[in-house]
């Protein structure tokens, strides 16, 4: 099949959606399909391992330059400006399927018109709904989502229930590795301490204040636990202030964002992952990546996270979102038992390799497209 991905950001920035586009394109190319990625003018080209994936870029107006009438408006204008330039090439591409990654691109079927034989698939990784998207959604033939939870979100908004393909992880890159004593020391974690790691944006709904409160709970007070937060965000000053108030500042390590490719090195130097989200995570890709590196996770029972971590406690521990005592109990159980960490970490790695690779995601995407044939 001739399959195209349209995402203006794929060639201009790094992130979960962009990773999904490139990894799926690679996995689909390996299955013998013809792949094209349409992106905005930019330099980002991941290592495609020599795969014959055509990359076409076109000019666009970055959202920062758009009149600030809200984030959604800016993103729609960004994508529309891209589409004006890319349209002739996309139409000429004569693709069997065109995969869109954001509702902001739902105008494409109408833009290409009925003369274009290409059909459209929407690969959902969140919500990003906007006024009028339901009307535009009529042009989408196949719907896929990154988790059952996200599928329900889509169902409630568009009244269409997507097939669940799950996100994937590059399990060869995100693999268990040896701890780097120098890195660990530079972070300030002593050899006997148990280092819990989080990577992501430091924003309120990630629930990191709950993790800070957990550090101050009796369950963790006597244990040699440290919390490594890799990332930046609006919540940083509040977290520092709270840690100071609770007297746990010395047990927190703030690390500026590191390149995505560098994360496995940090995970290898940590003992467990902690992901205490209090908002709806559609999937939890950073959790899956940490698990793929062999880290047992303590995470919230919210959104799509249980689908990643599993609900039998064999790969990680789940606790109620916002419940510092429950989070502390989960962290304490892991902190006190190196054997448990090793066992859950190994099972976590197996779970990701067995269920959440990009090859699995590509197969499921093809099955969803085949249902529409």
Partner 1 sequence: MCGIAGFFGDRPLEPAGIEAMLRRLSPRGPDAQHAVRWNAGFAPCEGAAPNALLHARLSIIDPRPEADQPMGNAAGDVWICYNGEVYGWENDARSLAAAGHAFRTRSDTEFILHAYEAWGTDMLPKLRGMFAIALLDLRRRKLFVIRDRMGLKPVVWHHAADEFAFASTVRALLAYLPAGRAALDPDGLDAFLAHRYIPAPLTAFRELRRLPNGHYLEFDLATRSLRQVEYWRPQPSGADWRAALDESIRLRTVADRPVGLFLSGGIDSTVIASRLAALGYRQIRAFTAAFPGSRFDESEDAARTAAALGLPHTPVEVPESIRDDFPRIVADLDEPFADPSSFPLWYLSRETTKQVKVVLGGDGGDELFAGYKRYAKHLRSAWRRGLRLGSSGWRADIEPPKLAKLLAELGTSWEEAYSLRFSGMHPGLRRLLQPQRALAPAVFWRNMPTESRGGLETLLAIDMANYLPEYILRKGDLTTMAHGLELRAPLLDHPFYQAVLSLPPGQRFTRPAKLALQEVCAPCRELDLFARKKRGFNPPLARWLGTDLAERYDGLGARLERASAGQLSGPAVDRVAAAYRAGRAGLAENVLQLLILDESLRQLAELA
Distance CA 75, CA 7 (A): 12
> Contact letters (x/-) for partner 1, 107-146, by CB under 8 A?
----------------------------------------
Q: Is the Cβ of residue 80 or residue 152 nearer to partner 1 in the bound state?
A: 152
CB 15 → partner 1: shortest distance, Å? 22
Which of 148, 221, 265, 350 lies at the binding interface for partner 1 (CB under 8 A)?
148
**Phi–psi pair at 194, nearest 5 degrees:** -100, 120
Question: Which pair of tokens denotes residue 169?
Answer: 């992880």
Distance CA 24, CA 4 (A): 11
DSSP H helices in the chain: 16-30, 71-93, 108-112, 133-136, 148-158, 181-187, 208-215, 218-221, 236-246, 263-269, 285-292, 305-309, 324-335, 338-355, 358-371
| Residues 241-280 contacting partner 1, CB under 8 A | 278, 280
Task: Give the binding range for partner 1 (CB under 8 A) out of 36-44, 96-104, 259-267, 306-314.
Answer: 306-314
Could you tell me the smallest distance in angstroms from the CB atom of residue 8 to partner 1?
A: 27
Verify binding: residue 313, partner 1, rule CB under 8 A. Answer: yes
Residue choice 231, 284, 303, 316 for contact with partner 1 (CB under 8 A): 303
DSSP 3: E
Distance from C-alpha of 346 to C-alpha of 43, rounded to nearest angstrom: 37
Question: If binding means CB under 8 A, how many residues of this protein chain bind partner 1?
Answer: 29
Give least dist CB 320 to partner 1, A.
Answer: 8
Binding partner 1 by CB under 8 A: which of 7, 170, 289, 307?
307
Q: What are the C-alpha distances in Å from 304 to residues 18, 96, 189?
A: 20, 30, 31
Residues near partner 1, by CB under 8 A: 148-149, 151-153, 155-156, 161, 164, 278, 280, 301-303, 306-307, 310-314, 318-322, 326, 329, 343
């Amino acid at each position: 099949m001739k399959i195209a991905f349209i995402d203006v950001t794929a060639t201009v920035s790094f992130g979960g959606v962009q990773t999904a586009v490139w990894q799926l394109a690679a996995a689909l190319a390996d299955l013998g399909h013809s792949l094209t990625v349409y992106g905005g003018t930019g330099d980002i080209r991941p290592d495609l391992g020599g795969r014959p994936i055509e990359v076409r870029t076109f000019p666009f107006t970055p959202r920062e330059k758009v009149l600030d009438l809200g984030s959604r408006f800016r993103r729609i204008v960004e994508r529309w400006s891209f589409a004006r330039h890319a349209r002739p090439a996309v139409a000429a591409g004569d693709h069997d399927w065109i995969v869109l990654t954001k509702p902001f691109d739902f105008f494409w079927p109408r833009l290409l018109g009925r003369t274009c034989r290409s059909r459209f698939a929407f690969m959902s990784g969140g919500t990003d709904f906007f006024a009028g998207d339901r009307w535009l959604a009529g042009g989408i033939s196949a719907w896929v989502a990154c988790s059952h939870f996200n599928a329900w979100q889509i169902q409630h908004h568009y009244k269409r229930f997507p097939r669940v393909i799950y996100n994937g992880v590059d399990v060869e890159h995100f693999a268990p590795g040896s701890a780097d004593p120098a890195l660990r020391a530079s972070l300030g974690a002593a050899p006997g301490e148990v280092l819990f790691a989080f990577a992501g944006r430091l924003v309120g709904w990630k629930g990191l204040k709950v993790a800070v409160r957990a550090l101050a709970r009796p369950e963790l007070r006597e244990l040699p636990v440290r919390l490594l937060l890799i990332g930046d965000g609006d919540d940083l000053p509040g977290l520092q202030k709270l840690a100071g108030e609770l007297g746990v500042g010395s047990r927190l390590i703030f690390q500026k964002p590191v390149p995505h490719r560098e994360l496995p090195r940090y995970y290898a130097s940590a003992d467990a992952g902690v992901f205490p989200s209090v908002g709806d995570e559609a999937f939890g890709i950073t959790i899956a990546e940490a698990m793929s590196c062999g880290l047992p996770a303590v995470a919230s029972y919210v959104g799509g996270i249980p689908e990643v971590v599993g609900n039998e406690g064999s790969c990680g521990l789940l606790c109620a979102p916002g419940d510092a005592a429950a989070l502390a109990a989960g962290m304490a159980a892991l902190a006190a038992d190196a054997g448990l960490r090793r066992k859950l970490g190994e099972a976590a790695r197996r779970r990701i390799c067995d269920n959440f690779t990009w090859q699995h995601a590509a197969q499921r995407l093809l099955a969803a497209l085949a249902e529409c044939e």
